[in-house]
Structure 1
Amino acid sequence: MGSDHTSALVVIDMINTYDHPDAEPLVASVRQALPAVRTAIDTARRSGTDVIYVNDNFGRWRSHHDELVETALRGQYADLVKPVLPDEDSLFVVKARHSIFFQTPLEYLLQQNGIRHIVLCGQVTEQCVLYSALDAHIRHLELTVLQDAVAHIHQDLADAALRMMERNMGARLQHAADLKF
C-alpha cells in the first residue's frame, strides 16, 4: 500500500490491441495522451500509491492478465502498450463491459484497501471513462479525472463527457503533471 492509503490510480483499457472499427481516431488520441498516462503511473508508483489496471477482456473469457498483455504486445500497436505496462506491484482487474465496476471485483478491492478516492486515466473518455466516473460517483467515491491522460474517439463527445464528469459527478479535472498523492 502506498503513502496515500485512501487513493489509487486506475488505468482503464490501456492494454489494447486496437483491433476495432474506431481504432484509427483512438490511436491518434492515445499517442497524444500517452506521455501524461506515463507521468501519472510514474507519480503513483514513486509515491507508493496503488496502481490498478482495469482492462477489457476483448471477449476472451478464459484470458488472464498475462495473456492480455502478451496479446497486446504482439499486436500492431505494441508501442502504445509498452510504456504503460503493469509492474509486479500493480493490481489488475478484468472487465467485460464499459464501466470498471460492472460485474468486477473492483468495488470490493477498493473497500478492502480503504480507497475512497480514485484517479482515472486511460481510454475511451466518452465511453469507459465516463461510465466509470458515473459508477464511482454513485458509490460516493472521490473522483479525479486526468484530462490530458484520457484518450477519445470523438473530440466533441470527449469534451462534453469531461464537462459532465466535472459538473454532474463532482469530478476534479486536472493534468497529470499536477498530480500529487
Structure 2
Amino acid sequence: MSTVHPSSAVIVIDMINTYDHRDAGLLVPEARKVVPVIAELLVAARARGVLVVYANDNFGQWRSHHGELVDAALTGPHADLVEPILPDDDALFVVKARHSIFYETPLTYLLWELGVRHVVLCGQVTEQCVLYSALDAHIRHLDVTVVSDAVAPIHPELADAAMEMMRRNMGARIVRGQDVTFTRDAGSDHAKSE
C-alpha cells in the first residue's frame, strides 16, 4: 500500500558539516554510507520541483550564514561528504542552534507559509537531531517520513531504538530511499512512500 502526501518538503539535517567534533570518528563512517542515498533523494525531489530545505547547525558562529557554513565544510577534511549534497539555488536554508530543526528557527512559519504538510527527513544524527526533529514535526501536526538509509547515527544501537520510537510514538513512516518517489499533480507536490 502506498501513501500520497500533498505539499511535501525534503529536510536535510546537519549534512553541511566540518566533522570537527568529538564524535566525528564514529559519525564519519556512518555519514559516508548515507550521502549517496541523500544525493539520489535530492536529485529525485529537485527533478519534480519538490521543496528542499537544509536545516543546519551554525558551528557555534552566530554570524554564520549558509554560504559561510558551506565554505567551511568544503575546506574541511571531509569535503567529499558535502560536495554530492550541496544546496542548489532553489534550496532554502535554516540555521539552527540546537538539536531540533524547529527549535528557535523560522521553519514552522516557513513550512506553514508554503503549505507544507509532510516532511521527509534525512541527515544526521539519527538518535539526536533527526529524532528530536521528528518529534517536533509530529507535535506540529506534520506528516513525517524518515528515510532509514539516509540518516546517519553515532551509536547504531541507539539509532535502532530512535527509529522505533519515531515509528511507534510519532506515527512516522520509516522507508528506504528507493521506496520514496516524488510526483507532481495539478501544481501540488507529492511524496509517495511504498
TM surpasses 0.5: yes
Distance 1:177 1:89 in 2: 23
- Paired residue type of 1:99: S
Q: Does 1:165 align with 2:132?
A: no
TM-score, normalising length from structure 2? 0.90
Q: Structure 1 residue 43: deviation in Å? A: 1.1
Q: Structure 1 residue 9: deviation in Å? A: 0.2
Question: 1:5–1:49: 8 Å Cα contact kept in structure 2?
Answer: no
Distance 2:11 2:79 in 1: 20
Point out where structure 1 has 5 or more consecutive residues left out of the alignment: none
1:20-53 CA-to-partner distances (Å, cap 9, x unmatched) read 0100110000011111111111111011000000
**Aligned equivalent of 2:29:** 28
Question: 2:11–2:55: 8 Å Cα contact kept in structure 1?
Answer: yes
Question: 2:101–2:129: 8 Å Cα contact kept in structure 1?
Answer: yes
**Aligned equivalent of 2:185:** none
Aligned identity (percent) is 64
Point out where structure 2 has 5 or more consecutive residues left out of the alignment: 183-194
**Aligned equivalent of 2:156:** 155
Question: 2:6–2:118: 8 Å Cα contact kept in structure 1?
Answer: no
Task: Name the SS for the 2:94 alignment partner.
Answer: strand
Q: Structure 1 residue 5: deviation in Å? A: 5.8
Task: Name the SS for the 1:19 alignment partner.
Answer: coil
TM-score, normalising length from structure 1? 0.97
- Paired residue type of 2:39: R
Structure 1 stretches of at least 4 aligned residues deviating more than 3 Å after TM superposition: none
Q: Does 1:37 align with 2:38?
A: yes
- Paired residue type of 1:44: A
Q: Does 1:64 align with 2:36?
A: no
1:68-94 CA-to-partner distances (Å, cap 9, x unmatched) read 000000000000000000000000000
Residues 159 and 122 of structure 1: CA distance in aligned 2, closer, same or farther (over 3 Å): same
**Aligned equivalent of 1:78:** 79
Q: Structure 1 residue 178: deviation in Å? A: 1.3
**Aligned equivalent of 2:99:** 98
1:116-158 CA-to-partner distances (Å, cap 9, x unmatched) read 0000000000000000000001001000000000001000000
Distance 1:5 1:112 in 2: 15
Superposition RMSD on alpha carbons, in Å? Answer: 0.9
Question: 1:5–1:114: 8 Å Cα contact kept in structure 2?
Answer: no
Aligned length: 178
- Paired residue type of 1:103: E
